[in-house]
Copies of this chain bind each other. A is one copy, B any other.
């Protein structure tokens, strides 16, 4: 019902837009926008193509200091508001990419600005502590109020870290330590363990492995990178570990139309996982842990069923491997639940869940057993940043107060239905619309066309991101309302007509 209603709404918007014709004319209700996201603008406003002249000059300036090949444009963060990112040439764009999915509640949210003006918070910003040895007084309370209040099922322990890569690196270390302690039983490390580890050799530095999946992305530091398999540019020329790589299911969409085929594909992948675990054990490189994203993001927004993940978790347990769910991109509410793994409906989803991006601090939750047995095994100078915990507390307050997860579920429905309609309308151009909440994607016929669409959409005032070979990913903030969905679809349709 909701589907057809939203479908009709969308059709109306598209119709209206086609009818209005002239670029710049949009289905925009200022009143509605202001009511829904108070601190938002009422629509995109473009003054130049992007990057404009000021962005180009700054890119040239920065080019003397860094490689600027990835710079899109320069931003005026002071003027950005809610769902709108303003650039240095005065262009105001609807942001459906949000700094690679890392802005939870939009730009310059009043709640976050207010936090900054509270004198009680100042010292948290100017005195960054070494959290592992000298935590601030409010640290346990702030962890309880923020990260523990959203802890995955079965987990009451959390370790903060500075970024996503450090989170995964340390989660892997926790799994290795857990695995070796399990092997040792009551006895401590041997003299040989102790002497060999100092020179990078076994048994102290054991030949353990982490099983990952084709198309996975878990970061770019050397440990993480050994489990990342999304793009050549990430991996080329960097030494790696000989760790097993299982196929991630390559499903057909919409999932509900291909349930039989998809179940077969998932069964094939799970079988391969078990084979690899056995094979690597025989090779003398046992699998200490399995790492997986609930939805592969960077690798092309690849989904798998709840059943797949639950079976995979069982396989991990059966073979004595830890199960690590990497929610760096999927966590924080964008799928309509706080964690994507909640869609599996399991009370015991994982042994470790890592996060970063929208959580503003990196880190990982873990089950009691995965706690390193001694201090300084999982450690670094900063171990996170309490000022980010302050922001996270406030973000969670806003999410609860404004029922943002429900909003995401609602906007997500509008978005996926809009994408279904567009792919029906442009069958040679678009395919494989898919998503959960507003964490959606659609494929374009080839990468060159995808890239052109991204640029043209941006010039019309909407920022999107690519992923995989030829996908577009949608990563709006949690304050992206149905209104914004229709605004986006409207503009997107404008662009697509040029590629028909």
CA distance A357 to B129 in the complex (A): 10
Q: Does A243 contact B (CB under 8 A)?
A: yes
CB of A35 closer than 8 Å to a CB of B:
no
1/0 per residue A225-252: CB within 8 Å of B? 0100101111111111111010000000
CB pair A237 B177 closer than 8 Å: yes
Q: Hey, which chain B residues are within 8 Å of A356, CB to CB?
A: 381
Stretch at the interface among A60-68, A307-315, A331-339: A60-68
Q: Which residue on B lies nearest to A360, using beta carbons? A: B128
A72 to B173, Cβ gap below 8 A? Answer: no
Query: Is there an interface contact between A239 and B204, defined as CB atoms closer than 8 Å?
Result: no
CA–CA, A397 and B454, complex, Å: 42
How many residues of A are in contact with the other chain, CB < 8 A?
123
Complex Cα spacing A240 to B199, Å = 9
B128 and A102 within 8 A (CB): yes
A108-B208 Cα distance, complex, nearest whole Å: 45
* A189 interface residue per 8 A CB criterion: yes
How many Å from the CB of A184 to the closest CB on chain B? 9
Q: Please tell me if A76 contacts chain B, counting CB pairs below 8 Å.
A: yes
Nearest chain-B residue to A164 (Cβ)?
A: B381
A77-B136, A193-B236, A241-B200 are contacts. A65–B143 as well, Cβ < 8 Å? yes
Q: Which segment of A8-16, A109-117, A346-354, A422-430 sits at the interface?
A: A109-117
Q: For the complex formed, measure the closest distance between the CB of A180 and the CB atoms of chain B, giving whole angstroms.
A: 4
In the assembled complex, A6 has its CB within 8 A of some CB on chain B: no
Tell me, yes or no, whether A318 is within 8 Å of chain B by CB. no
Most chain B CB within 10 A, of A103, A197, A208, is at A197
A78 lies within 8 A of chain B by Cβ: yes
One of B139, B181, B223 near A222 (C-beta < 8 A) = B223
Across-interface contacts of A66 in B (CB, < 8 A):
157-159, 371
Task: Indicate if the CB atoms of A198 and B232 lie closer than 8 Å.
Answer: yes
Contacts of A205 in B (CB 8 A): 235-240
User: Which B residues are CB-close (under 8 A) to A162?
Assistant: 162-163, 166
Stretch at the interface among A21-29, A118-126, A407-415, A445-453: A118-126
Tell me whether B198 and A229 are in contact (CB under 8 A).
yes
Residue among B74, B112, B165 making CB contact with A135, cutoff 8 Å: B74
Instruction: Kindly state whether residue A85 has any CB partner on chain B within 8 Å.
Output: yes
A133 touches which of B71, B112, B221 (Cβ 8 Å): B71
In this complex, which of A181, A206, A222, A378 has the most chain B Cβ atoms within 10 angstroms of its Cβ? A222
Task: List the B side residues contacting A156 at CB < 8 Å.
Answer: 64-65
A140 at the interface (CB under 8 A from B): yes
Asked whether, in the complex, the Cβ of B371 is within 8 Å of the Cβ of A67, the reply is yes
Q: Is B239 a contact of A209 with CB atoms below 8 Å?
A: yes
- Is the Cβ of B134 less than 8 Å from the Cβ of A220? no
B-chain residues with CB within 8 Å of residue A56 when the two chains form the complex: none
B-chain residues with CB within 8 Å of residue A379 when the two chains form the complex: 70, 220
Q: Which residues of B contact A80 (CB under 8 A)?
A: 123, 127
A172 at the interface (CB under 8 A from B): yes
Establish whether residues B220 and A221, one from each chain, have CB atoms under 8 Å apart when the complex forms. Answer: no
> In the complex, A287 Cα to B351 Cα: how many Å?
38
CB of A50, distance to nearest CB on chain B (Å): 11
CB-CB under 8 A for A163 and B166, given A134-B73, A200-B242: yes
Check if A169 is an interface residue, CB within 8 A of chain B: yes
State whether A197 touches B108 (Cβ < 8 A).
Answer: no
CB distance from A389 to the nearest CB of B (A): 12
Q: Which residue of B lies closest to A127 (CB)?
A: B77
Chain B's nearest CB lies how many Å from the CB of A213?
12
**Cβ-closest chain B residue relative to A76:** B137
User: Is there an interface contact between B85 and A134, defined as CB atoms closer than 8 Å?
Assistant: yes
Determine if B380 and A70 form an interchain contact, defined as CB atoms under 8 angstroms apart: no
- Residue of B72, B77, B382, B391 touching A124 (CB-CB under 8 A): B77
Cβ contact within 8 Å between B67 and A372: yes
If A99-B134, A135-B74, A166-B162 touch, whether A140 touches B65 (CB-CB below 8 Å) is: yes
**19 A–B contact pairs at CB < 8 A?**
A58-B140, A62-B139, A65-B156, A67-B371, A67-B378, A69-B374, A69-B375, A71-B133, A74-B139, A77-B124, A78-B120, A126-B391, A173-B220, A173-B238, A180-B236, A200-B243, A205-B236, A222-B222, A234-B377
Closest 10 pairs (CB-CB, A-B): A69-B375, A222-B223, A70-B375, A205-B240, A200-B240, A169-B221, A99-B130, A180-B237, A112-B126, A197-B235
Q: A69-B375, A75-B137, A99-B129 are in contact. List 7 more A-B contacts (CB 8 A).
A: A80-B127, A163-B380, A169-B220, A173-B237, A200-B245, A234-B377, A357-B381
